[in-house]
């Protein structure tokens, strides 16, 4: 009874102690659970980072091999271009040497032949002397003819003037103005008036129509019996030696047709239309608008393809700011984690990273 009473008296304290210990156990269980979650997250983070490092190394190896292949191809192309350039330079030098020899022989043989050129100059000088002498004689003859024509025209003018002034001739009863009694000798015009005949006015003759009878036409005695032929062309003569131009060229220059000015012949926007036409022709001629220049510096402007470390969001600059920072002191061992097959969730989570790495490669 005493024990039962003691237990009943201590039942409240036992219940409180039981609930107190249970609460302490729950708090420790939550703390252990949080610690386990933290350990799991840290381990999974280390595992993912190790896998990403493995992917980086793999992608870098692929890029290295691919770029080495491109480099070898480019080097082979450069070697071929250099060989082609050397061959073309050699061929050009040989062609220049052959041309130099042939042109020297041709010039010495035909162009600058001293004796032939000397004989040619002698003949030209003799011909020029003969032509110059003939031209001087022709000029003297033309000058004499011109003087004679001038004298004849003056004589005709004086004769006509004397015929017009024939009424001033002196008579036996009345002396003329050119035959003054106070002069010892008469004026020369007086003698000219005595020789000239008086000028008479003739009536204009009426031109009769040319009447051609039928008999004359049938007898082929009239000028209208046959059609009149055109003027015959000039006889082809030997071209004169000297800097003389042809008759057709001189007439063409003399009677050149009227050419409109630039303001009338061309519109105001001629330059703009010409540029548009040139641009349209170039666009039609080019199948591809991007110019292909393999043997120039066009490839230098090509955009550089960065590697995986520089193009991804996990760049070295972000390691210091994000959770992916590597601290070798906290590593469990010096060896990296071994790669494992990713689960479905890990594959779906990093599927975009795989596709992006494939595009970069």
Per-residue pLDDT tens digits for 254-275:
787 777 666 667 777 888 999 9
Residue 146 token pair? 């011109």
DSSP 112: S
DSSP secondary structure letters along 171-197: -SSS--TTS-TTSSS--HHHHHHHHSP
CA 209 to chain centre: 72
Q: Within 10 Å of residue 222's Cβ, how many Cβ atoms? A: 15
Integer Cα distance of 298 and 286 in angstroms = 18
Which residue do the tokens 């003297």 mark? 140
* Residue 354: predicted pLDDT: 45
> Which residues of the chain are modeled with pLDDT < 50?
225-227, 317-322, 341-347, 349-350, 352-354, 356-361
pLDDT of residue 339: 57
Give residue 133's pLDDT: 93
Residue 128 Cα distances to 133, 141, 237, 262, angstroms? 8, 20, 19, 45
The secondary structure of residue 201, as a DSSP letter, is P
pTM comes to: 0.27
Confidence at residue 319, expressed as pLDDT on a 0 to 100 scale: 43
Task: Give dist(CA 161, CA 296) in Å, integer.
Answer: 94
Q: Which two tokens stand for residue 300?
A: 């230098």
| Nearest CA-CA partner of 262 in 271, 253, 254 | 271
* The predicted structure's pLDDT at residue 103: 92
């Amino acid at each position: 009874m005493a024990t039962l009473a003691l237990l009943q008296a201590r039942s409240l304290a036992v219940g409180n102690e039981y609930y107190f210990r249970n609460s302490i156990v729950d708090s420790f269980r939550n703390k252990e659970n949080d610690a386990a979650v933290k350990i799991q997250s840290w381990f999974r983070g280390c595992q993912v980072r190790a896998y990403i490092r493995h992917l980086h190394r793999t992608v870098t190896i692929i890029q290295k091999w691919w770029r080495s292949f491109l480099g070898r191809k480019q080097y082979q192309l450069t070697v071929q271009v250099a060989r082609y350039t050397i061959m073309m330079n050699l061929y050009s030098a040989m062609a220049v040497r052959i041309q130099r020899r042939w042109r020297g022989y041709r010039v010495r043989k035909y162009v600058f032949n001293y004796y032939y050129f000397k004989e040619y100059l002698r003949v030209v000088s003799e011909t020029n002397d003969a032509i110059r002498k003939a031209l001087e004689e022709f000029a003297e003859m033309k000058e004499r003819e011109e003087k004679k024509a001038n004298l004849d025209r003056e004589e005709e003018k004086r004769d006509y003037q004397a015929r017009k002034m024939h009424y001033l001739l002196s008579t036996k009863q009345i002396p003329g103005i050119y035959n003054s009694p106070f002069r010892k000798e008469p004026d020369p015009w007086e003698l000219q008036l005595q020789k000239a005949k008086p000028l008479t006015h003739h009536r204009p003759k009426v031109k009769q129509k040319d009447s051609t009878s039928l008999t004359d036409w049938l007898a082929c005695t009239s000028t209208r019996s046959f059609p009149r032929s055109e003027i015959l062309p000039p006889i082809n003569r030997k071209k004169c030696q000297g800097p003389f131009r042809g008759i057709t060229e001189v007439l063409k220059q003399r009677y050149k047709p009227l050419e409109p000015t630039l303001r009338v012949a061309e519109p105001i926007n001629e330059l703009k239309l010409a540029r548009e036409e040139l641009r349209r022709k170039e666009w039609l001629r080019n199948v591809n608008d991007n110019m292909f220049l393999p043997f120039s510096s066009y490839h230098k402007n090509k955009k550089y393809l960065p590697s995986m470390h520089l193009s991804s969001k996990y760049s070295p600059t972000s390691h210091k700011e994000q959770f992916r920072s590597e601290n070798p002191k906290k590593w469990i061992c010096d060896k990296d984690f071994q790669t494992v097959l990713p689960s479905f969730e890990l594959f779906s989570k990093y599927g975009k990273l795989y596709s992006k790495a494939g595009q970069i490669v």
